[in-house]
């Protein structure tokens, strides 16, 4: 039963988001969502299913109340569990830096090699331009690459991308984007990020965009 908690919680979130929509729209959106690939993920992993259910319920409460406390709770828990399920946080609730991009010695070797070969720059400028800070730039680049729709298609499937992209275009919420971008960035901090888990745990904001897309279709049909 616990394997279906996530599905039921996400369905509840969808119904809430589409509460003012036509029943046919709600039914079509729910049917498409149920057949998305994510419903077959982690069927034997109660931790991930329970975590998704918790996130969906808290996200629903935030959408209903706009409480900053609830949003902050969702934000912190999302980052924590993305880091945990990517093995960056261990049993002692402390980061394991050996599993992060920061510990990738090859990355720094390449940076230092560029520094050594940049003879066109003054010697004292090379450590500043080709310093270890470049890893921050690399992480931001990985996070930006990770938020493209083709990346989280792994959990939504191709067909659902139409309403999701429509929702992304029409519904530009800062709070959705900050949670989504930061969550992806946290997952990409891992040397070997588990993208399926990252986007699985970020399904609540994705479903909000998905719902907004369906509401746009409904408006179009009424014209």
Structural domain of residue 94, as residue ranges?
2-222
129: number of Cβ within 10 Å:
14
- Angle of helix 174-188 relative to helix 203-222, nearest 10 degrees? 140
Question: In this predicted model, which residue has the larger pLDDT, 67 or 138?
Answer: 67
Q: Domain tally for the chain?
A: 1
Task: State percent of the chain over pLDDT 90.
Answer: 35
Residue 48 CA to residue 11 CA, distance in Å, equals: 17
Residue 15 CA to residue 178 CA, distance in Å, equals: 24
188 phi and psi, to 5 degrees? -70, -10
Span of 68-77, 133-142, 149-158, 179-188 with lowest mean pLDDT: 133-142
pLDDT at 56 over 90: yes
- Angle of helix 5-17 relative to helix 23-34, nearest 10 degrees? 150
- Report the DSSP beta bridge partners of residue 100: 190
Span of 79-93, 134-148, 153-167 with lowest mean pLDDT: 134-148
**Tokens 């709600």 sit on residue:** 26
User: Please, how many CA atoms are within 13 Å of residue 36, restricted to the half-sphere of its CB?
Assistant: 30
- Mean pLDDT estimate for the chain: 81
pLDDT in tens, 188-216: 877 778 888 899 999 999 999 999 999 99
pLDDT at 115 over 60: no
pLDDT at 95 over 60: yes
Please give the pLDDT value at position 136.
Answer: 67
Quick one: tokens of 17?
A: 């988001």
Please give the pLDDT value at position 35.
Answer: 86
Task: State percent of the chain over pLDDT 70.
Answer: 76
User: End-to-end alpha-carbon separation of the chain, Å?
Assistant: 43
Closest CA to 115 of 106, 125, 105: 125
């Amino acid at each position: 039963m616990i394997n279906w908690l996530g599905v039921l919680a996400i369905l509840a979130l969808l119904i809430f988001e589409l509460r003012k929509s036509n029943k046919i729209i709600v039914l079509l959106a729910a049917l498409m969502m149920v057949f998305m690939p994510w419903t077959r993920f982690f069927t034997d992993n109660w931790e991930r299913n329970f975590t998704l259910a918790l996130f969906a319920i808290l996200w629903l409460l935030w959408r209903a109340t706009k409480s900053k406390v609830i949003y902050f709770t969702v934000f912190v828990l999302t980052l924590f569990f993305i880091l945990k399920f990517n093995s960056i946080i261990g049993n002692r609730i402390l980061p394991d830096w050996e599993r992060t991009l920061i510990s990738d010695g090859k990355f720094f070797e390449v940076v230092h090699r560029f520094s050594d070969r940049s003879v066109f720059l003054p010697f004292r400028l090379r450590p500043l331009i080709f310093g270890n800070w470049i890893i921050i730039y690399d992480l931001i680049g990985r996070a930006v690459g990770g938020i493209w729709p083709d990346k989280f298609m792994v959990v939504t499937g191709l067909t659902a991308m139409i309403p999701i992209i429509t929702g992304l275009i029409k519904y530009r919420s800062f709070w959705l984007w900050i949670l989504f971008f930061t969550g992806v960035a946290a997952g990409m901090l891992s040397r070997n990020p588990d993208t399926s888990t990252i986007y699985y745990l970020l399904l609540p904001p994705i479903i909000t965009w998905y719902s907004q897309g369906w509401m746009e279709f409904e408006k179009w049909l009424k014209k």
